[in-house]
Structure 1
């Protein structure tokens, strides 16, 4: 029996892989204009990083992490022993904790220094029940800004994300930006108690999971998908009524900056996100056309205590992450094509097998000149080679034959117009490379 992929994982075939590379490259270009530089952290971190950073009571830590155990440590566990903390490793379920760990470990924000702006891209892993828009391995792009607590940082990040979504092709009318504040310890602690008391008073109408959450992380009751719980929580206390003056001022400033930038948003006092490290600003961008419960395509917020949680000095932070797979679904739902057809600038065909060495040499020279060139590597007639050129979406085909080679020239066929012309072989690379560069050059501005 053929071995297949485990549930919750996907192969990224050439068209999707090419689109993913372009997607990441676009993010790098957009985010770089805001000062963000790339960072790459390991896909495996110490388990304690996520327990301390994300929160032991969160679903991510309590239910969804993939923990890696080496053969030696597995044998120790099976024998009834214990594994040291430095040997407990976990595939990263999200990117923020690892980036903050790297910032702290390498002291990227020295005392009194300006903020550091970092972006990352790569796979994340969660042991969730697979469904559309929810994979066990998924790809995220994210940014983290550490060292500045001004509300302008929050607004700048949100504006940047919305502009990226528009540039990638998601229509503005197909998205909604939800905004809330989680407050700080001074105002969130009494608010958590108020929500806990509210859930307890309505215990007869709440699901068992929400009753359990009420004791460990009561704000997560706002995330429950059970319709009965959602109806109850619609009347729960709102964090915006509990914000202290500094938090209220921060939230008002973020809203003012967004309004000045022309970014529309909707206030959602039930938005709490799923991770414990958030403080003050939280936001989420949802796709409106996907007809899926997994409609969040990006989100994040401020986390001013996370650096301390992982052993660093107090360092305010803000960040967000967006999901590639969910953005792809949102684009398809909005009717935006994400196909990336294979394309070839020049295909070199031969009339006889005797010209294959000359074709091989020409293809190499074209590639050295930066031209995407290919040729036939099988026993195919000229007709078969033309079919292959069509399959590769070749824009031009150079046909090498004995008579043409004897004359030091070859026929070049435009596959769009079917027009043919003869080009000297000595000038072939120069002519075709110039045409390819001309086709790639941006049109002059009017």
Structure 2
């Protein structure tokens, strides 16, 4: 027998609920509930959905993310198209592709846009709990809006999403906030950082030494415990911010304060991409070990021009779906059941045509129905009905069908009496079942 082919390491199957598996990856029921919640929340804020290709030109990410970033240097899945020699990359993040699409289609011609997308991203890194080589991300962007009001809206919208998912801000997730100022302010801070780290060169690890003159801000994000003291004593970017940058940051904080949202100003908070400016934020948790960030984002006013478009402001965030769903599982939060309302028990093949016609009428009326398929005796079919999680069983027995009826049994209330319903007036009782 041929060897079993398995998924690529770090790229996982999302399976239906009930399929046994040894890992803790979320099943498709949890996944679908999350996506339904996202559509509901973002729709209430006026955000529109879009989809962009999984494969993009490699140059898009080199220009957008910066050559001296871990993503570009180490993590991208890049290849040369054998047909035409184009250099292509499986997208490692969503923002650059969205901006490329907006520029290509002149999408901001008629004014600003609020957008969101969800889909797979790819990074070649060591798979671990909550971090995979193919992962899925929710990406939310507001393009063409310069003010701090939209920055604050993004953060409050994330809070709404947490609440809808059963997460409590301050307990399950916490907000950290910072400002990166503007490029000229960062340049002054950068020079001060380089001087500071040069004075402590013997403390820096190899990664920090490599970044010292190319991207010293990323040294502040180090996890090396031997470097924490020198990082803590490094110059703070917030001390280099001018009046306009501070006013923008204060305005964001003012909205969050008025909304009663607690947060911590983390002056060491940076983002992994070079294109951020002004507001940056992360939602973090203590429940997932070292993988504490569940959502991160901020403002990136220069990226659209950097990728060849007309200058326009922008702000957004990305959310790792696997990591967030793992958090929900770890906390044991309740997830609404997606069980069918009805399980159709059909003991005799002769009843199948009438039964299926009835079930189509029920579905057309908005009732979710799972039909027994493949036969089986009554005992076996009722066992399947119970396992399905359905509230009711509709029993298409030969005697009932001959009388123009179907039997309704409440599977969740053993004391409830079984009753008969007329097959000739499905619409009359379908609404009662739909709302039960």
Question: What is the TM-score normalised by the length of structure 1?
Answer: 0.90
Q: Alignment partner for residue 373 of structure 2, among 377, 380, 385?
A: 377
Structure 2 runs not aligned, ≥5 long? 18-26
With over 3 angstroms needed to count, the CA separation of the structure-2 counterparts of 1:403 and 1:34, relative to structure 1, is: closer
Aligned match of 1:192:
190
Q: Does the alignment pair 1:403 with 2:399?
A: yes
User: SS of the counterpart of 1:14?
Assistant: coil
Contact 1:121–1:140 (CA under 8 A) maintained in structure 2: yes
Deviation for aligned residue 1:285: 0.5
Alignment map for 1:268-279 (pairs within 5 Å): 268-279=266-277
Aligned match of 2:227:
229
Give the Cα separation in 2 of the matches to 1:154 and 1:368.
43
Q: Deviations over 1:285-339 (max 9, x none)?
A: 001222x21111101001011011110111111111111111112222333134x
Deviation for aligned residue 1:237: 0.9
Q: Does the alignment pair 1:8 with 2:5?
A: no
Aligned match of 1:343:
339
Q: Deviations over 1:122-144 (max 9, x none)?
A: 11111111101111111111211
Question: What is the TM-score normalised by the length of structure 2?
Answer: 0.92
Structure 1 runs not aligned, ≥5 long? 74-82, 440-446
Aligned match of 2:77:
66
Q: Deviations over 1:321-363 (max 9, x none)?
A: 111111112222333134x655122222233333233333333
Give the Cα separation in 2 of the matches to 1:273 and 1:259.
23
Give the Cα separation in 2 of the matches to 1:140 and 1:43.
12
Alignment map for 1:35-434 (pairs within 5 Å): 35-72=46-83, 83=85, 87-110=86-109, 114-172=111-169, 173-290=171-288, 292-338=289-335, 341=337, 343-418=339-414, 419=416, 420-427=418-425, 429-434=426-431
User: SS of the counterpart of 2:322?
Assistant: helix
Runs of 4 or more off by more than 6 Å in structure 1? none
Give the Cα separation in 1 of the matches to 2:357 and 2:424.
13
State the Cα RMSD in Å: 1.7
Give the Cα separation in 1 of the matches to 2:214 and 2:137.
28
Give the Cα separation in 1 of the matches to 2:56 and 2:178.
30
With over 3 angstroms needed to count, the CA separation of the structure-2 counterparts of 1:401 and 1:361, relative to structure 1, is: same
**Which range moves more in the overlay, 346-355 or 281-290?**
346-355
With over 3 angstroms needed to count, the CA separation of the structure-2 counterparts of 1:253 and 1:275, relative to structure 1, is: same
Give the Cα separation in 1 of the matches to 2:350 and 2:54.
51
Aligned match of 1:78:
none
